[in-house]
């Protein structure tokens, strides 16, 4: 008579009595598939993104202002219909660990396959997308969601009207630089009686929008009887190209001043003289409008720059990239704030914002994410041996001091001071106007303050522009009205 069954039962009971490791949460998994009719010829490579949004609205792929819901990213090479891409908690996720901490409930999810090399935005024309889908997600119980990319994002350009035109102008300069056909996109707003006054000529205003403003937003600009207004496109190969020449985006400044503006002035009866050309804008547009005036001082007759992005890298937002070792951590050992409230409370940190850019960027690289920090890095920094922007800082935030010589070219304070002997006479007569609030959301007032201090010391000639730093004002919350700017431009044009 054998006792083996009893012994086996004893061992089984003993094992059951031992402490067991907790079961791993099943988690949330997304399987992203490409519909057969959406496969490229040949199959394309790019970045697959999945964003989670509230149940009652489409998700936002680029929001970093809390509260945020997770965004996931993964590379896909030569994607075909039988090659799904899996994204889960092991993928690049913003915020870090956010997928595992997601409360169970109803959400809206959407996937994008970003392949457009010329426009680094999630919903660029040609990218594959799926419609937003309502789902129930429960990380603890486990949820597997299949998303099929069954549509190609169209190029949603409004129809031209009597006063609003949307141009995609072939650019030889940009095409030669990138080695493929490239266009310069620009929205044009004509005076209300343009067609009724065939002999009248107009001044030209280059109106640059905030970060990432597309040229199609010209639809929101009101016609003015004195000026043709143009709105350059705020999307390019590595994010917003900032309309200046750069090692990574190419000669956007030269294309604007030698190809686009001459074409627009001829086509739409502009005066076509430097005295009748002006720039204006806020935030990104504030930096660009000032940079265009400083880099092309004979070409424009005045800039109105409001809450400009960092005009000196002595304060790149809050960081002094010349002297400090780390972009994420300040000299006191704390994570550096990136956005604040009017009263100074921290909304987000630079590390937090770059985490989102890393999810959006190919290879998990923040410098390819297409948002603010990636765009600045591409505009101001050098091109690497791989043909991609060299990151100013690594994943831990350590600043690469070897690239600073290239960045110095775009330090507008440095450019102004270093070249004042040549620039001073060309900017005389009050060409430069700058406004910022002293409680700017992104700490941009710190750089403007240093520019103002440096400008006050300039001599032979003295700086006679206007730099206003307004108390108790945040980002884009003050400055000149549009009418005030256009009225001032008209006076200078006479």
Cβ-based burial of 491 (10 A; exposed 0-12, middle 13-18, buried ≥19): exposed
β-strand pairing of 105-114 with 133-137? antiparallel
Tokens describing residue 450: 């240093």
Strand partners, 72: 50, 93
Give the pLDDT of residue 12. 38
Give the pLDDT of residue 475. 97
Q: What is the CA radius of gyration of the chain?
A: 26
Tokens describing residue 167: 């141009």
Q: Where are the beta strands (DSSP E) in 328-458?
A: 337-340, 346-349, 432-437
Is the pLDDT reported for residue 23 higher than 70?
Answer: no
Instruction: Identify which of 316, 369, 318 has the alpha carbon closest to the alpha carbon of residue 346.
Output: 318
Give the pLDDT of residue 14. 37
What does the alpha-carbon distance between residue 397 and residue 377 come to, in Å, rounded to a whole number? 13
Give the pLDDT of residue 5. 39
CATH code of domain 28-152: 2.60.40
Give the pLDDT of residue 178. 98
Mean local confidence (pLDDT), 103-109? 97
Mean pLDDT of the chain: 94
pTM: 0.94
Is the pLDDT reported for residue 7 higher than 70?
Answer: no
For 460-481, what is each residue's pLDDT tens digit? 999 999 999 999 999 999 999 9
For 324-375, what is each residue's pLDDT tens digit? 999 999 999 999 999 999 999 999 999 999 999 999 999 999 999 999 999 9
Is the pLDDT reported for residue 120 higher than 50?
Answer: yes
Tokens describing residue 49: 């993104």
Domain boundaries, the chain: 28-152, 314-408
- φ, ψ of residue 363 to 5 degrees: the values are 70, 10
Mean local confidence (pLDDT), 436-460? 98
What does the alpha-carbon distance between residue 412 and residue 420 come to, in Å, rounded to a whole number? 12
| Cis peptide preceding 109, ω within 30 of 0 | no
Question: Per-residue confidence at 24, pLDDT binned at 50, 70, 90?
Answer: very low
Give the pLDDT of residue 25. 47
Give the pLDDT of residue 186. 98
> Where on the phi/psi map is residue 443: left (φ > 0), alpha (ψ -120 to 50), or beta?
left
Give the pLDDT of residue 20. 52
What does the alpha-carbon distance between residue 226 and residue 218 come to, in Å, rounded to a whole number? 17
| Cis peptide preceding 67, ω within 30 of 0 | yes
Q: Can you tell me whether residue 364 is helix, strand or coil?
A: helix
Mean local confidence (pLDDT), 147-170? 97
Mean local confidence (pLDDT), 377-397? 98
Which has the minimum average pLDDT: 22-36, 60-74, 285-299, 406-420? 22-36
For 201-247, what is each residue's pLDDT tens digit? 999 999 999 999 999 999 999 999 999 999 999 999 999 999 999 99
């Amino acid at each position: 008579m054998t006792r083996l069954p009893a012994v086996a039962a004893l061992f089984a009971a003993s094992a059951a009595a031992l402490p067991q490791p907790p079961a791993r949460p099943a988690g949330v998994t997304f399987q992203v598939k490409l519909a057969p009719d959406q496969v490229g010829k040949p199959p394309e490579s790019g970045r697959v993104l999945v964003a989670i949004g509230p149940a009652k609205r489409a998700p936002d792929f680029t929001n970093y202002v809390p509260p945020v819901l997770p965004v996931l990213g993964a590379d896909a090479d030569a994607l075909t219909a039988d090659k799904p891409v899996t994204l889960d908690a092991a993928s690049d996720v913003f915020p870090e660990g956010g997928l595992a901490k997601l409360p169970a409930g109803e959400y809206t999810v959407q996937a994008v396959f970003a392949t457009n090399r010329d426009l680094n935005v999630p919903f660029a024309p040609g990218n594959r997308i799926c419609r937003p889908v309502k789902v129930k997600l429960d990380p603890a119980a486990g949820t597997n969601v299949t998303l099929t990319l069954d549509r190609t994002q169209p190029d949603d350009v409004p129809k031209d009207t009597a006063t609003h035109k949307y141009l995609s102008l072939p650019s030889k300069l940009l095409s030669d630089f990138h080695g493929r056909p490239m266009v310069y996109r620009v929205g044009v707003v004509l005076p209300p009686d343009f067609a009724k006054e065939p002999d009248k000529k107009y001044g030209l205003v280059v109106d640059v929008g905030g970060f990432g403003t597309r040229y199609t937003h010209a639809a929101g600009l009101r016609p003015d009887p004195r000026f043709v207004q143009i709105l350059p496109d705020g999307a390019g190969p590595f994010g917003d190209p900032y309309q200046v020449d750069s090692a990574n985006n190419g000669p956007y400044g030269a294309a604007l001043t030698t190809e686009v503006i001459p074409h627009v002035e001829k086509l739409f009866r502009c005066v076509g003289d430097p005295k009748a050309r002006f720039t204006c804008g806020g935030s990104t547009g504030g930096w660009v409008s000032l940079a265009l005036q400083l880099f092309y001082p004979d070409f424009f007759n005045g800039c109105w720059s409001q809450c400009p992005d960092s005009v000196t890298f002595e304060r790149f937002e809050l960081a002094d990239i010349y002297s400090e070792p780390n972009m994420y951590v300040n000299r006191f050992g704390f994570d550096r704030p990136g956005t604040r409230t009017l009263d100074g409370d921290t909304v987000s940190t630079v590390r937090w914002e770059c985490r989102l850019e890393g999810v959006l960027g190919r290879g998990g690289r923040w410098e390819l994410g297409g948002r603010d920090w990636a765009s600045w890095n591409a505009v101001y920094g050098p091109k690497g041996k791989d043909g991609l922007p060299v990151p100013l800082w690594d994943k831990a935030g350590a600043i690469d001091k070897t690239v600073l010589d290239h960045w110095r070219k775009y330090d507008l304070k440095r450019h102004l001071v270093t070249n004042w002997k040549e620039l001073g006479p060309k900017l005389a007569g009050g060409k430069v106007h700058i406004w910022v609030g002293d409680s700017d959301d992104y700490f941009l007032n710190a750089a403007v303050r240093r520019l103002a201090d440096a400008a006050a010391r300039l001599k032979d000639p003295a700086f006679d522009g206007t730099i206003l730093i307004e108390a108790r004002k945040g980002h884009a919350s003050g400055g000149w009205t549009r009418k005030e700017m256009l009225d001032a431009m008209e006076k200078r044009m006479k």
